[in-house]
Amino acid sequence: MKSLRFLIPLLVLLGLVGFLGAGLKLNPKEVPSPLIGKPAPAFKLARLDRADTTLASQDLLGKVWMLNVWASWCVACRQEHPLLMAFSRQTQLPIYGLNYKDDRVAGLRWLSNFGDPYVASLFDVDGRVGIDFGVYGVPETFLIDQQGVIRFKHIGPLTPDVLRTQIEPLLRQLHG
């Protein structure tokens, strides 16, 4: 009976050590999204550059497209931006921006200064569409298929490796 009194805490401690050890091996940038494989949230937003013109999720059905969530105040977005510019020139994939919780003038100035890789940027001033997509920081990038289903989500700035090893193979599969 006395040995059982010591054995139970030891087993609990070993279980905790195993659980914590497994957690240390996880990549914090790989946050699984519950939206992968599900329809992208419906939206209808004004364009950043033309407040009187809207774009809705239904307008994008029938094509594979990328949604890049960005803001003028985002330091990591500046790091990612040259890669987006190059990618938009070398691919036929339409890239749409979601200008997240930003000031319209600041967002337009940012695109004017650094270049505009987007077919259009949508103005999500209050962040509601971003919240619907599960965004909790910028930048975040989504790949959406012809049926409007989210196929990929990347948290943080895109890298050449992410484009080469994850996005480009998925694009070949979706267009295949």
Please report, to the nearest 10 degrees, the dihedral formed by the alpha carbons of residues 102, 106, 108, 111 taken in order.
-90
- Residue 154, domain member (yes or no): yes
For residues 143-153, give the mean pLDDT: 98
User: Tokens 């940038």, residue?
Assistant: 29
Q: What are phi and psi of 120, to 5 degrees?
A: -160, 150
Cα gap 30→158, rounded to integer Å: 13
- Residue 107, domain member (yes or no): yes
Close Cβ partners of 25 (under 8 Å, ≥ 6 residues apart): none
Q: What is the mean pLDDT of the chain?
A: 90
- Residue 8, domain member (yes or no): no
The structural domain count of the chain equals: 1
Sign, CA torsion 167/140/54/81: negative
Instruction: Output the pTM of the full model.
Output: 0.83
* 129 closest CA partner among 82, 94, 96: 96
- Residue 4, domain member (yes or no): no
For the domain that residue 46 is a member of, what is the CATH number? 3.40.30.10
Question: DSSP assignment, residue 57?
Answer: G
Domain that holds residue 141: 38-175
* Residues 96-115 pLDDT 10s: 999 999 999 999 999 999 99
- Residue 52, domain member (yes or no): yes
**What is the rounded radius of gyration, in angstroms, for the C-alpha atoms of the chain?**
21
* Residues 6-59 pLDDT 10s: 666 666 666 666 555 555 555 554 556 678 999 999 999 999 999 999 999 999
- Residue 117, domain member (yes or no): yes
Cα gap 129→44, rounded to integer Å: 9
Higher pLDDT, 124 or 30: 124
- Residue 73, domain member (yes or no): yes
- Residue 15, domain member (yes or no): no
Helix (H, G, I), strand (E, B) or coil at 139: coil
